[in-house]
Amino acid sequence: MKFKTTPYHSDLLKDTDRLSAFWQAIVDYEGNNDLAYDLGCGSGVLSYFLSSYFKEIIAIEVDKKTSLIAKENLSDFDNIEVVNSDVLEYDFTKKADLIVCEMLDTALIDEEEIPVLSYAKKFLKEDGKIIPQSVINTVELVNLERHYLHWDEGVNYETLSEPLVYSQFNLLDEINPEFEADLSLKANRNGMINGLKITTYTKLNENLIVGPLPMLNPPLLIPLDEKFVKENDLINVKLKYIMGEGIESIKTDYL
């Protein structure tokens, strides 16, 4: 099936690893199949995947132009309804067996995954499921070539520590969007550090973890003041951010 897209959603469709991972998670879904919500449906490709497995899909997209494209793409499917609405303002009237919410980004900082799911999962059946299922975040000490906050998109940097898992949570749980942690990272060689690298791994189901991809959670590089470290030095850093409030909410400082 050929999908019409916006330029941004065209890039999403070109990331075939991301696309095939979500397709596999939907194929692997086990549970009731009466109703699925596709939140932030974009061009509608995940609703298209869901259409073979669910009696009804409600696909919600806040951007009017994108929702019209999704309606056109999915017009031949009687079991899919595309709605132009902000999820946080949508009048949910039915409880779903599955919520698919692909509003993903690194550490869930720059997308509305957490506030959207905090609201929408009230309309999930007691035994309902969410794709993705959970998130795992790691952090490393780095020396950055570009000393400002940016994503890892072919830029140069050196890592000076092993990855540390600093946060992991199940999206079915209640999650405080205001994240704060004191991190202790051990340098694995001598060198100059001036930043942190955050990497997010997304667990779509019990058996499927998706690592960073071009259009799914590229690592985030966060500047710190320069500090020379020796091998085995422990570097203590406070990391704060608000999930859903954007990268402007990120705060870091040495302890």
Write down the architecture of domain 7-102 according to CATH: 3-Layer(aba) Sandwich (3.40)
CA-closest candidate to residue 58, choices 105, 18, 90: 90
Q: Where are the chain's structural domains?
A: 7-102, 134-254
State the greatest distance between any 2 C-alpha atoms of the chain, in Å, as a whole number: 63
CA-closest candidate to residue 215, choices 69, 42, 52: 42
Question: What pTM value is reported for the model?
Answer: 0.93
Please spell the DSSP secondary structure of 35-65, one letter per residue.
EEEEET-TTSHHHHHHTTT-SEEEEEES-HH
HSE of 2, CA atoms in CB hemisphere, 13 A: 0
CATH pick for 134-254 out of 3.90.1150.10, 2.70.160.11, 3.50.50.60, 3.40.50.1220? 2.70.160.11
Q: What angle separates helix 16-28 from helix 7-14, to the nearest 10 degrees?
A: 70
- Per DSSP, helices labelled H in 29-168 are 45-50, 64-73, 113-120
Per-10-residue mean pLDDT of the chain, 255 residues long, equals: 70 77 96 97 95 98 95 96 97 97 93 95 97 97 94 89 97 97 98 97 95 83 97 98 97 96
Check residue 16 and give its pLDDT. Answer: 82
Instruction: Give bridge partners of residue 183 from the DSSP assignment.
Output: 237
Count the Cβ atoms, other than its own, within 10 Å of residue 102. 21
Check residue 12 and give its pLDDT. Answer: 65
